[in-house]
Amino acid sequence: MSELVGNVLVGQSGGPTSVINASVAGVIAEALNHECIDEIYGTLNGVLGLLNEDFIDLAAESQQQIRALRHTPGAALGTCRYKLKKQQDFERVLEVFKAHNIRYFFYIGGNDSQDTADKISKLAQAQGYELRVIGVPKTIDNDLPVTDHCPGYGSVIKYLATTVREVACDSQAMGQGDLVSIIEVMGRSAGWIAAGAALAKRRDHPHDPPHLILLPEVPFNQEKVLADVAKVLKREKFCSIVVAEGLVDSDGNYIAASTATDAFGHAQLGGAGDALASIIEGKLPGVKVRVAKPGLVQRAAAHAASKTDADEAYLAGQAAVIAAINGETDKMVTLVRGQTEAYSCETGLAPLSDIANGVKLLPPEWINEDGVSMNFQFARYAQPLIQGEVAVPHENGLPTYAQLQKTKVEKRLPTYEIV
């Protein structure tokens, strides 16, 4: 395939992770190696930056700051949950690409982001505009199809399992067989994050916290959960529960959700921990319940990030550029686990259409028959993903993170009205 000369544009979308910026660093570092790439731009706040022609010059950033992206949480380019709603939006995106000679577009995000990238690519093809679009996976939810796992997941479960152990130390001191400690974690449709709490258990110590893990894949049965809690409290000084925010009943209804929805039509979740606490306190007299909600903290905890996760996020960014330079388009980078006994990971590619809007659930065979714990197959899958610690530099006792100067790229088109 003939060499494509032009500019790179990279963007981020959806909920940030503690390693999403490592993928940006990977894109920049690899793009600088190829003479066919003239400029390297970042779009601020995802597709909103595309519509507003709001770009920054990433090649103008210092190498020190680019390296710092590898340990910086959040989305350094800014993110959004805006949905391109009409054909006019997509036409505007293509106009912006043409105005800035964007020939390589890398979009770092989850299910909905890959769908957006796929639609942009198909419109470019329909109009005969040569553009190579590669998606870079990102989601703490770990629910993207095809890829073995997703950058961001290893770090969030490393943080969660650590939190479970730390809270257990507190509960052990406070409980006298009358305390239930609930940690509510993210996870809309799949329980990958909640399942990761199982890594807090020591090998051959089945009664270690968390004692119960409540997953979206297993319908909530109030009577059974109450019986499980009572059984643990008879045996232990406290009962540790990890519950996914997307917990549903047997009819598929969330046990806690607001009537509001986001731009993609997803219900606004939150409150599963409090709902569970109310049930336990109402049905088990004398039991005290405490609820902890890591919330945004769980996806921003760079101080507890997995080095394996950060390295693979960087690798995914590099692989996206290499794929595009080699003529690939309409693909997402995937992480492919090696078949050897020792953990290894390579990158692959999958069609964006195979990723867009799909959801990968926990394999049911990884959930024990009790429905509230994970077996060795899950541990074998997840344990390698949390290995290693990211070296975060500190100043005056606190971590220092990247601060991009964000040199603006001159706009070339009339202002676009976003409705």
- pLDDT(164) > 80: yes
Residue 174 assigned to a binding site: no
Q: How high does pLDDT run on average in the chain?
A: 94
Provide the pLDDT confidence category of residue 204 given band limits of 50, 70 and 90: confident
pLDDT digits (tens, 9 = 90+) for 220-242: 999 999 999 999 999 999 999 99
Mean pLDDT is lowest, of 142-146, 153-157, 308-312, 356-360, for: 356-360
Phi and psi at residue 258, in whole multiples of 5°?
-85, 165
Tell which residue, 174, 294, 308, has the closest CA to residue 245. Answer: 294
Residue 111 assigned to a binding site: yes
Provide the pLDDT confidence category of residue 6 given band limits of 50, 70 and 90: very high
Residue 186 assigned to a binding site: yes
- pLDDT(378) > 90: yes
Residue positions annotated with a catalytic role = 141
Rounded to two decimals, the pTM is: 0.95
pLDDT, residue 343, reads 97
Please check whether residue 180 is in contact with residue 214, taking contact to mean a CB–CB distance below 8 angstroms: no
Residues of the chain above pLDDT 90, percent: 89
Across residues 355-384, what is the average pLDDT?
94
pLDDT, residue 189, reads 85
Dihedral-angle region of residue 367 (phi above 0 means left; psi in -120 to 50 means alpha; beta otherwise): beta
Residue 187 assigned to a binding site: yes
C-alpha span between 190 and 359 (Å, rounded): 8
pLDDT, residue 267, reads 53
pLDDT, residue 2, reads 66
pLDDT, residue 259, reads 47
Q: Structure tokens of 240? A: 């540790």
Q: Structure tokens of 364? A: 């049911």
List of domains in the chain: 6-139+303-357+388-399 (3.40.50.450), 153-299 (3.40.50.460)
Residue 188 assigned to a binding site: yes
C-alpha span between 213 and 36 (Å, rounded): 51
CB count, 10 Å around CB of 101? 11
pLDDT digits (tens, 9 = 90+) for 37-50: 999 999 999 999 99
Here the contacts of 221-224 (C-beta below 8 Å, separation 24 or greater) are: 221/250, 222/279, 222/283, 224/371
